[in-house]
Structure 1
Amino acid sequence: MGVRPLRTATLAVVSLLFVGLADAALRTLAAEASSSSLPSDASFVFDGNSSDIAQQLYVRHVAGDTADSIELAVVPTAVANRLDPLNIDFNTLPGLVQRALLWDTGFALAPGGEAVQMWTLDGYSMAELAIPQEDVIDAQCTFINCTQPDDVTVYYSRTCRGDNMTSVSRCVVDEFDDPGAVSYAGMMWSNGGDPDMAPLIRLRNHAWTESYGASFSVYVVHTTSAEDDPAWGTCPSGYASLSVPCHRRDNISDTMAAALSTPTGSAWVTTWLEQYDESDSGFNWLRLIPVILGTIFAFAICILQSSGEPSQEGSVEEWGVESSRDVE
């Protein structure tokens, strides 16, 4: 093969290599962007039909809302594992970010303030734990209807056996202590909500004994304060709020236990957390790959071009061309 065909083939190989590697790098960056972009859905409304508490807290955080910091005696390992690579201390995060991180990682807060592990059932995510009213109706529960300040009709469960309610539940909560459970009179399920609220992740144990002797205990996540949560059988003075009933971890079958899913957290929440990265390692080196490859490609072309041209001082015989004098 002559020099020029060899040079052309080499340039073609280098070009294909450059295009392939650059395309792979750009595809990786595009995949990261699509999976971890911060929420931008203007149609999202926190109205009690979704348990996407993390997104609502992000919306309120961006709007300028604040909340007291959450002080945990023990930060859950799953939460720490998300923060450690970013060199973030949980206690330094804003209150709403702390709350969103806990929920997104599968935790709610017990009356004593400790973070309690949650699991999901049937493949649901933490954003999909709100039980539709139709399911609660199928569980043979009754309701009271209330009207919010925005004239929207919302519902609270009124009469319902504990096992009927948990039959349509989508979550399981680890055991926790609730000293006020015996005297607590609240409602296990509700929808509705203030679109401008910053939801809480407050756990309560709904425990009672029916007149016929059956005893029940249902763990419920309440998204509003105790002061704003109406007593059983009454409507709130303002907006309603989402309530999410869950199974107790110590009261499920082995079959159900084997089917539990442990929340791992959303990519977009990790992206949000990166804003609080206290290290210098937040730069994505993948972004340099196209630049580096471009430099190598240009350098290779220069070398091949310079090596492919005969010097003016060189002999033409060096390039395999007969001298006119030899022909003569």
Structure 2
Amino acid sequence: MRARLMQCSEDEKRAVLKHHDCTEEELEQLIDRIKEWIVKANLPVEENARNKYRTALLNCKLSLERAKECLRGYYHIRTIYSDFFDMLVPNTKDYMLAKQLVKMAFLPKLSPDLSRIAIVRIDDPQGQAPDGLFYELIPILNTELRIATEDYFLSNTIIIDLEGFGLKNVIKYTPTVNNILVHLMVSINLRLQGLHFLNTPPIMDKVMFLVKNFLPTKFINKVHAHKNADTLYKFIPKECLPENYGGSLQSLEDLHEDWCKASESQEEFFEKLLTVKCEGDLSDMRIKDNDSGFGVDGSFKKLAID
């Protein structure tokens, strides 16, 4: 799967390790320490989870303590929002609808700055999704597949294509849905290189002006709005993008289909993930509608953007 969906050359792997001043043996030792900690912390013990632990460490610049918080957040949100995560099984009715309404793929090539790029585009002109969370079903399925695969990277770049995104889609994002989405983001400590909104409507300028009033400046500097792909190329070279974005890779539709086929062939893997839940009652850690949306009682790390 790795060679087909995500590529990372030996040179790129060495560059990532060199950036962190770490050898492969030292990274494996950190993974062993996390494996031991998972048991002591009474978190779910999974078979073959080393790639997941490696991804957590790389997202946290190899900080052992931050990686632990990242994994704790990951297991907590799978438990807290189990009604949603229980939908994350391929070949179901919900899955078949979701794969039509959202096109998403992690791109096979790392960017020159060793960032793993993801593109998401909602194709739901009739507003068929029951709510905004439904649009996250495919992205999170693909993310689970990604973190279960060996990969080396320095950061993550997300492109959200807003072409065709209209009022019927906007109304799906209720305050409750938005708070849950923020909770999911801050709980996993994603190291973000850039968040790019592509094919933005004119109103996006007004939205960006409003959000700048309450988001950290350092985060705002990572967010970019593009009316078309021409300005996107200043950040991401064409050779790292799909052909329908002016690049040399397969089209987003073809890449999306490849990821869907990979998910559909791993149904047993996703069935096992349904049992990955923490013990005890974590319901009091859900974000409430009147919460700020940037953490729960200081329990989770904020989004890593440096």
TM-score normalised by length of structure 2: 0.27
Name the one with the larger helix percent. 2
Point out the structure with max Rg over C-alpha: 1
TM value normalised by structure 1: 0.25
